[in-house]
Amino acid sequence: MNQFRPVFSIFALSVLFFLSSTSFAQADASPKLEPSYVVSLQVLIGSNEPGSKGDVPSNLSSITRQLKNNFSFSNYRLANTFLGRISNTGNIEYKSISNILGQETDAESQTFLEWSLGNFRSVQSGFQARSFRFGAKVPVRTGGTRSESGRVDPIINYESVGLTMSMIGLPANMPTLIGTISLPRTTGTIFLIATVRSADL
């Protein structure tokens, strides 16, 4: 019977080696972290209102030149910049209160803003998203009522503005105009500009 002990020992060592190799292989097969990207959505407003001129970031200078060739607005200003970090097949959803019109507001007449980017993907020539939506509920003063003390309280109604798109493509590292929205009760227009770049670690 002793002649079988060396064979059994070799068999046992082989089993242990196989199990150890399998464990290391499973550890190496763990999912790798997907590359991340930063999506920048910049809201530019064009108008002819006096005194509304503002600084436009240098990265939007080429976009601004294009707009001046196609629109008659005398002034352009950056209303806001929104950032979101995303990976392949990811989504961004943003909701907040924002004063995109740059006008004086109070607690009873805020602008409610939301935007989303759905099913984002990196493709060979840049990036693609299955859906994009930008929407805002903008307060509009439609009248006023006078109280017994003589104070005039404004009557505020909300008008919805927005843009919904499907299957949009975006180049890498290049500000791209993706849509326009007319502002209610004004001659101004919102320009939506998106830029996608690789995220730093």
- Compute φ and ψ for 182, nearest 5 degrees: -80, 135
User: In angstroms, what CA-CA distances link 55 with 44, 135, 166?
Assistant: 11, 24, 31
d(CA 94, CA 120): 15
d(CA 95, CA 111): 11
Domain boundary assignment for the chain: 1-30, 36-198
pLDDT computed for residue 7 by the predictor: 47
Along the 201 residues of the chain, how does pLDDT read in single tens digits?
555 455 445 555 454 455 555 554 454 556 677 889 999 999 999 988 776 566 788 999 999 999 999 998 988 999 889 999 999 999 999 998 877 665 555 555 678 899 999 999 999 889 999 999 999 888 877 788 887 787 877 788 888 889 999 999 999 999 999 999 988 767 789 999 999 999 975
Q: How many CB atoms within 10 Å of residue 127?
A: 21
d(CA 189, CA 104): 18
